[in-house]
Amino acid sequence: MRLFSLLLIIGLLNFSGFSQTPQKEKAKLVVGIVVDQMRNDYIDRFWDRYSEDGFKRLVNEGYRFKNGHFNYVPTYTGPGHASIFSGTSPMNHGIIGNNWFDKTTGESVYCAGDPEIESVGTTDEAGKMSPHRMIVTSIADENRLATQMRGKTIGIALKDRGAILPAGHTANAAYWFHGKDEGRWISSSFYMNALPNWVVTFNNSGKAASYFKTWDTLYPIETYVESGSDQNNFEGGFKGKESATFPYDLQKLKADNGNFELLKAVAYGNDLTTDFAMAAINGEKLGQGTDTDFLTLSYSSTDYVGHNFGVNSKEIQDTYLRLDKNIADFLRFLDEKVGKDQYIVFLTADHAGVEVPAYLESVKIPAGYFDSKDFKTKVEDFVGKEYGDENLVQNISNNQVFFNYQLLNEKKIEAAELEGKLAAFILAQDKIHRVYTRDQIVKGAFTKGVEEMIKNGFNHKRSGDLIYILEPAVISYSRTGSTHGSAYVYDTHVPMLFYGKGVRKGNTARRSEIVDIAPTIANMLDISFPNGTTGKPLYWMLEE
């Protein structure tokens, strides 16, 4: 009788839910912000000039990882966005560059290009895009699966790849900005057959055209002591203006600089992106349902400005001071529309950027430029003399050399032999730092340093047969402006900020990696990790 009574009590307790794990309240909205080409030191360099409500709010009220890095090479936009949201590196997700040589077709392919897809919102081919080349899920995909597709996902960026890859394969929509003479936010038939009304309304509002105004510094330029001089020899500038100096009359410059394309390359492109993101939250009612929604938001103008003017320019400083205001406005908007304690924001970058080598040379720091065309000619000449056929090398791109295996087989040449001879030749060339063969990468058990980064960025099916690393601060680029792509710290060290529901306040200098972001968000939402995940949750910043 006592045993029966005890079992009855246990059964009643189980039925009433006392033994069940309580379900925590999840965030209504996750916003993943990627700032294209943002160096970690921009937070500290411009700190005193930021408002209290933008970057400072994220840092002071959230959690900052001061030592966040990419764990692979190459550090480009496509691989960066894919890695952040998939929780893994190119070795698994397959996005090995913005463009790469396709060994199957013998042609270069674009990371988001899809010839089977139609443009939506324009007759231009700029809309023929999809995430089909990314072979894993994103964290946004996993949220869609976990909510039985009830939770929405919207991806937004001026760049198509910045909108498409983070949003994943199941997104309700991804939108990117088509410039030229149209100035419209567009999409593709991968997501929809026609733009929704709220997008049409935004495109017809004249908002984009309103930014054809004068771009001058937000504050007196003489107070911008955190950046270099406005007049120098290390900046590109715009067609139609003799000097790369403030102010810039965009109305006058637009005809010579691609019309609406110009907006992407100035600070106001971030304003336009913020405007559209707010319209998306209203139009799609993100964060208003019972299931968690996702907004992936990439600020692309920072990259265009950095490429043109360099990481030490007055233009880049002004762009970040204005972006700070964009973020402050957006956070206030989220407070009002979603609720201050009802959303999660993380902010990071898809890569950082190098100081302009010509500037570094001017202050006696080792740096320089690498002539890729000359290098290609030397490699082909060497192979031609050694083997009688320069076509044994089928392609050289993204610091990789691809062999022509059909020709190797016909001539009965072992790939390992060509690897060895060509690696030795390339290593002897000026400004080459290291060379790795496919055999070394595939068989090597690399767990640290550049070797590990190369392995993490090496996709067995898509990558080449030799990979070469240039010396520090040596780039294949113009002598004006900055670029990125290397395994060096100036390209890998990026901000990692978390803010909102379930995030502790604090910071750490311990090393963290970009692939840790997606599993951290999955942990916060109690959903599955993206299916290619190699990162680990950043558990020490999570509230218990």
pLDDT of 422-453, one tens digit each? 999 999 999 999 999 999 999 988 888 999 99
Chain Cα centroid distance, residue 381: 37
pLDDT (average), residues 106-130: 98
Same domain, 117 and 84: yes
Q: Is residue 136, in this structure, part of any structural domain at all?
A: yes
Q: Return the CATH number at 224.
A: 3.40.720.10
Cβ neighbourhood burial of 178 (10 Å; 0-12, 13-18, 19+): buried
- Separation CA 448–CA 330 (nearest Å): 39
Q: Are 124 and 180 in contact (CB under 8 A)?
A: yes
Q: Are 462 and 91 in contact (CB under 8 A)?
A: no
- pLDDT, tens only, 456-501: 999 999 999 999 999 999 999 999 999 999 999 999 999 999 999 9
- pLDDT, tens only, 322-345: 999 999 999 999 999 999 999 999
Residue 188 three-state SS:
strand
- Separation CA 380–CA 435 (nearest Å): 17
Residue in 75, 77, 153, 273 annotated catalytic: 77
Same domain, 146 and 271: yes
Same domain, 113 and 224: yes
Same domain, 375 and 354: no
- Separation CA 424–CA 378 (nearest Å): 13
Reduce the secondary structure of 118-184 to three states and give it as a string.
CEECCCCHHHCECCCCCCCCCHHHHHHHHCCCCCCEEEEECCHHHHHHHHCCCCCEEEEEECCCCCE
> Per-residue DSSP letters for 296-310?
EEEE-HHHHHHHHH-
Q: Is residue 83, in this structure, part of any structural domain at all?
A: yes
pLDDT (average), residues 226-251: 98
Q: Which region, left, alpha or beta, applies to residue 128 given φ > 0 means left and ψ of -120 to 50 means alpha?
A: beta
- pLDDT, tens only, 130-184: 999 999 999 999 999 999 999 999 999 999 999 999 999 999 999 999 999 999 9
The number of helix segments (H) and strand segments (E) in the chain equals: 21, 21
Contact residues for 72 (Cβ-Cβ < 8 A; gap 6+) = 79, 83, 89, 90, 91, 453, 454, 456, 457
pLDDT (average), residues 102-121: 97
Predicted local distance difference test score (pLDDT) of residue 95: 98
- Separation CA 261–CA 177 (nearest Å): 9
Residue 206 has pLDDT above 80, yes or no: yes
- pLDDT, tens only, 288-315: 999 999 999 999 999 999 999 999 999 9
Same domain, 465 and 531: no
Burial code of 364-379, b = ≥16 C-beta within 10 A, e = fewer? eeebbbbeeeebeeeb
- pLDDT, tens only, 23-52: 678 999 999 999 999 999 999 999 999 999
Same domain, 329 and 393: no
Residue 503 has pLDDT above 50, yes or no: yes
Q: How confident is the model at residue 12 (pLDDT cuts 50, 70, 90)?
A: very low
Q: Is residue 352, in this structure, part of any structural domain at all?
A: yes
pLDDT (average), residues 506-525: 97
Q: How many domains does the chain have?
A: 2
Contact residues for 356 (Cβ-Cβ < 8 A; gap 6+) = 234, 310, 311, 312, 479, 480, 481, 482
Q: How confident is the model at residue 22 (pLDDT cuts 50, 70, 90)?
A: low
Predicted local distance difference test score (pLDDT) of residue 125: 97
Predicted local distance difference test score (pLDDT) of residue 23: 61
Q: Return the CATH number at 384.
A: 3.30.1360.150
Predicted local distance difference test score (pLDDT) of residue 4: 45
Q: How confident is the model at residue 6 (pLDDT cuts 50, 70, 90)?
A: very low
Same domain, 318 and 337: yes
Tokens at 386, concatenated: 């050694």
Residue 8 has pLDDT above 60, yes or no: no
Same domain, 173 and 256: yes
Q: Is residue 366, in this structure, part of any structural domain at all?
A: no
Q: How confident is the model at residue 3 (pLDDT cuts 50, 70, 90)?
A: very low
Same domain, 277 and 385: no
Mean pLDDT, the chain, rounded, equals 95
Is-catalytic flag, 447?
Answer: no
Residue 2 has pLDDT above 60, yes or no: no
Q: Is residue 25, in this structure, part of any structural domain at all?
A: no
Nearest to residue 176, comparing CAs of 126, 109, 133, 123? 126
Predicted local distance difference test score (pLDDT) of residue 355: 98
Q: How confident is the model at residue 18 (pLDDT cuts 50, 70, 90)?
A: very low
Q: For the CA atoms of the chain, what is the radius of gyration?
A: 25
Same domain, 383 and 333: no
Residue 38 three-state SS:
coil
Q: How far is CA 30 from CA 55, 89, 149, 281, in A?
A: 17, 22, 15, 12
Q: Is residue 264, in this structure, part of any structural domain at all?
A: yes
- Separation CA 466–CA 439 (nearest Å): 9
Nearest to residue 294, comparing CAs of 25, 528, 32? 32
Please give the span between the terminal C-alpha atoms of the chain, in angstroms, as a whole number: 42
- Separation CA 478–CA 469 (nearest Å): 18
- Separation CA 488–CA 469 (nearest Å): 10
- Separation CA 397–CA 387 (nearest Å): 22
pLDDT (average), residues 405-414: 95
Cβ neighbourhood burial of 224 (10 Å; 0-12, 13-18, 19+): buried
Q: Which region, left, alpha or beta, applies to residue 178 given φ > 0 means left and ψ of -120 to 50 means alpha?
A: beta
Same domain, 254 and 334: yes
Burial code of 335-353, b = ≥16 C-beta within 10 A, e = fewer? eebbeeebbbbbbbbbbbb
Residue 397 has pLDDT above 90, yes or no: yes
Q: How far is CA 135 from CA 54, 111, 337, 370, 534, in A?
A: 35, 11, 34, 33, 14
List the domain range (segments joined by +) for residue 211. 32-361+486-494+501-514+526-541
Chain Cα centroid distance, residue 160: 11
Q: Is residue 16, in this structure, part of any structural domain at all?
A: no
Q: What backbone torsions phi and psi does residue 242 show, to the nearest 5 degrees?
A: -65, -40
Nearest to residue 112, comparing CAs of 159, 65, 57, 45? 159
Q: Is residue 481, in this structure, part of any structural domain at all?
A: no
pLDDT (average), residues 374-397: 96
- Separation CA 301–CA 59 (nearest Å): 22
- Separation CA 399–CA 508 (nearest Å): 34
Residue 16 has pLDDT above 70, yes or no: no
Same domain, 396 and 343: no
